[in-house]
Chain A
């Protein structure tokens, strides 16, 4: 697999902070069980909101739920159903901010959890950039490894569509 074949995008960043094994499997297109309840519903609601033209603002391959300007500059926001995977969500948004900055667009980020009446600010700091670049390198290292990282039983396995693959 030559380097340029793998493009570490926001999705892999997300999975990286959820489960490293999933990164390897996704990187090799070994997708999870398509009969899994969450997979089916995810696909269904994605198609539905797509049809209804959910108001998203696209920047290249990135899509944001809200884009606005305040006195400090541009703010891009994402609405999340729950803060369960807040670390993943934060790093993914940071990754988009970093991609925007590469294109010369300076922005700050916001994660919105309307159900929890919670809001989380994400600002691209040098430290965060370092973390992201480190994650990106680590993701490539994981994918290039000939075998996937060993399965570890975690809380999230209970609702994971890979569970039967991992524990069979």
Chain B
């Protein structure tokens, strides 16, 4: 698996000696182009067209984050995998309302059932979540009766609300109360962590989509119109609870990130670079951890599980096998 390189420093990215080269005030460094799959840019980095051409040729995707840590956009090199058949099927399933709902429902169901797994785990460990668990179960049961996207979205919102409301019980960290979900800007520390983690998740799924025949612009739960990418948002829903949220609980539990790692910025709260690095490092490690996969018969990393999820969606689209979302075992 090729690596993700995270750039926090300000500097220049260049093509030099047929490989990638980063130059900042403190360092000059060559990066092995054959081993880089994606770049995540947080610092003030400048680059030229020659560099982009090289990245495109090497199929390296570049994600940009703003000074505040928000996702800004990606350099998504021209599609290198193309299957007319797959694109037609993907669009066909979007245009047919019935088919679209069937897929969207699986995404919501996957997200909800993974939330349930997280809740179960913490209910066993710290208790006090069983009421929420019951509610989540009820909503999961009701998903089959949701026959339009807005009802599905509402059900999902409902689950997420209840889920977030027990974050205080899970984190047991008075410095990081949940209060309420706030975005752009997030207004407290925990919300800042959630937003940051979620944006990373969206880009990671996008990078995986790039390595399949799927078109990231056609999503099912998140409407395709107006947004540049939406399929990555759909799939990220499934993985947010078991990847992003678990990393949040872990960095807070181990006090790897504290309130001193944040600063106020206008209306919102912003992470300092040190905290971002810590978070990214933990997330990167999480994505590399492996779990046993029955079908494949050997351990696969969480990162690979995301790819497999895309393959499953492809098989659904070509009419081979109904898509069932990945549910964590614990």
Q: Specify which chain A residues have a CB less than 8 angstroms from the CB of B308 in the assembled complex.
A: 164, 168
A29 partner, pick from B85, B311, B314, B315, beta carbons under 8 A: B85
Q: Closest CB-CB distance, A129 to chain B, in whole Å? A: 31
Chain B interface residue count, Cβ-Cβ cutoff 8 angstroms: 25
SS class of chain B's interface: helix, strand, loop or mixed? loop
Q: Report, as a range, how many residues of chain A touch the other chain.
A: 10 to 19
B81 partner, pick from A31, A165, A167, beta carbons under 8 A: A31
B311 partner, pick from A34, A147, A148, A168, beta carbons under 8 A: A168
Q: Specify which chain A residues have a CB less than 8 angstroms from the CB of B320 in the assembled complex.
A: 147-148
Q: A146-B319, A147-B319, A147-B320 are in contact. Are A164 and B85 (CB under 8 A)?
A: no
Assembly CA distance A77 to B307 (angstroms): 41
Q: Specify which chain A residues have a CB less than 8 angstroms from the CB of B83 in the assembled complex.
A: 28-31
Assembly CA distance A164 to B211 (angstroms): 13
Which A28-59 residues have a C-beta within 8 angstroms of B? 28-31, 33-35
How many CB-defined contacts (below 8 Å) exist between A and B? 51
Q: Specify which chain A residues have a CB less than 8 angstroms from the CB of B304 in the assembled complex.
A: 164
Q: Indicate whether B2 reaches chain A with its CB closer than 8 angstroms.
A: yes
Q: Specify which chain A residues have a CB less than 8 angstroms from the CB of B309 in the assembled complex.
A: 168
B296 partner, pick from A146, A147, A164, beta carbons under 8 A: A164
Assembly CA distance A99 to B42 (angstroms): 57
Assembly CA distance A31 to B79 (angstroms): 13
Q: Indicate whether B57 reaches chain A with its CB closer than 8 angstroms.
A: no
CB-based nearest A residue for B89: A28
Q: Closest CB-CB distance, B240 to chain A, in whole Å? A: 20
Contact between A35 and B1 (Cβ–Cβ < 8 Å)? yes
Q: Indicate whether A163 reaches chain B with its CB closer than 8 angstroms.
A: yes
Q: Specify which chain B residues have a CB less than 8 angstroms from the CB of A29 in the assembled complex.
A: 82-86, 213
Contact between A168 and B86 (Cβ–Cβ < 8 Å)? no
Q: Indicate whether B166 reaches chain A with its CB closer than 8 angstroms.
A: no
Q: List 28 A-B contacts (CB under 8 A).
A: A28-B83, A28-B85, A28-B86, A28-B318, A29-B82, A29-B83, A30-B85, A30-B213, A30-B318, A31-B81, A31-B83, A33-B211, A34-B81, A34-B211, A35-B1, A35-B2, A35-B211, A147-B318, A147-B319, A148-B318, A164-B296, A164-B311, A165-B314, A165-B315, A167-B296, A168-B295, A168-B296, A168-B311
Apart from A29-B213, A30-B83, A146-B319, what 7 extra A-B contacts exist at CB < 8 Å?
A: A28-B83, A28-B85, A28-B86, A34-B80, A147-B318, A147-B320, A168-B312
Q: B: which residues have CB within 8 A of A?
A: 1-2, 80-86, 211, 213, 295-297, 304, 307-309, 311-312, 314-315, 318-320
